[in-house]
Structure 1
């Protein structure tokens, strides 16, 4: 079991990052709330991980802190909720926000998460209510602030295309349809925005 990685952050291409530890590059899939909390490229980063082994793949999921990882592990135990949906939940809201939704039976906010229908949302609220009844946050949740992804700015149009394209691809990876992703990015687009800025603003606009 790989529980934690500490190394140099080489790439950010949401929802995946590449981190080099001891000469080995690990591809890690992370929720956007965790990606926002990462340092700049080529700096040292610590990622708490959850390792999933399937017949056709070995997948590594990463989180900014143990609180997010713990919640992810609880969520994927819910019937019908797998790692991809767990990732979408923690990309749409912080751990504290999700716990608050469960505590207040906020079905409306849960249903807005991509891939979560009404029945799944109801199941999440029912099953997570017992699992979170003794939940205590002992670590500050990852702040929803944007980092910066260095991009070679030879031409402004290149930056715009890359930022919009990367943001749309990230939203599709999180479960949104191509049409939803394109529309939400179009609504929040600013020429100076990085892909992380666009993803963050788009996710906020859809909740």
Structure 2
């Protein structure tokens, strides 16, 4: 079992990296988050790995942190969700954001990931809901330095009115990112209407 690689980063692209260890180059498929977190080619790096053995292939996946690998394992434990979809999620969301989305039952956040779809997003939330504490023991955000961590950003407001307001804003034509940006300045509100009014006031001021 290949669990960790430490060596010279000799190649990296949008799909993965090659790490040379004792003269052997190991190719690992990665998320875009990991690619961005690793140092420039030619430098030493540490990549945490997960080896998946199939009848027709042995696939090595790499992660810039143990937290990202833990979330990858959690996502691939969901029925009919493979490693490629797990990497797509981790390319769009940090480990902390995945844990937060599961805890909130945030189907829309998962469904915004390219290739995932609403039904798969619902299955992710359904099968991981209530298990996030076991799956995500530590979920600090990845920092720009390989192997190090930064504190998790403050969580956005929980489910209920916040999620309903965000869905309403996307229904008005805002993208998910635009809706979340507008709501980020709304502060804590006690109703859907209050969230929407505060968000739209912030948009008009920009």
Q: Is TM more than 0.5 here?
A: yes
Q: CA deviation at 1:107?
A: 1.3
Q: CA deviation at 1:64?
A: 0.7
Distance 1:73 1:39, change over 3 A: same
Q: For the residues of structure 2 that align with 1:103 and 1:24, how far apart are their CA atoms?
A: 41
Contact 2:47 2:62 in 1 (8 A): yes
Q: CA deviation at 1:139?
A: 6.0
Contact 2:47 2:63 in 1 (8 A): yes
Q: For the residues of structure 2 that align with 1:136 and 1:97, how far apart are their CA atoms?
A: 11
Give SS of 1:2's match: coil
Gaps of 5+ in 2: 147-176, 181-206
Give SS of 2:121's match: helix
Q: CA deviation at 1:141?
A: 2.5
Please name the residue that 2:33 is paired with.
33
Contact 1:31 1:88 in 2 (8 A): yes
Q: Which has the larger radius of gyration?
A: 2
Please name the residue that 2:22 is paired with.
22
Which of structure 1's runs of 4+ aligned residues deviate more than 2 A?
A: 133-141
Please name the residue that 1:65 is paired with.
65
Please name the residue that 1:13 is paired with.
13
Query: Could you say which structure has the greater relative contact order, defined with CA pairs below 8 angstroms and 6 or more residues apart?
Result: 1
Contact 1:52 1:59 in 2 (8 A): yes
1:29-178 counterparts in 2 under 5 A?
A: 29-134=29-134, 138=138, 140-143=140-143
Gaps of 5+ in 1: 148-203
Distance 1:136 1:70, change over 3 A: closer
RMSD over aligned CA atoms reads 2.2
Q: For the residues of structure 1 that align with 2:57 and 2:26, how far apart are their CA atoms?
A: 14
Kindly tell me the number of residue pairs found equivalent between the two proteins: 149
Distance 1:137 1:131, change over 3 A: closer
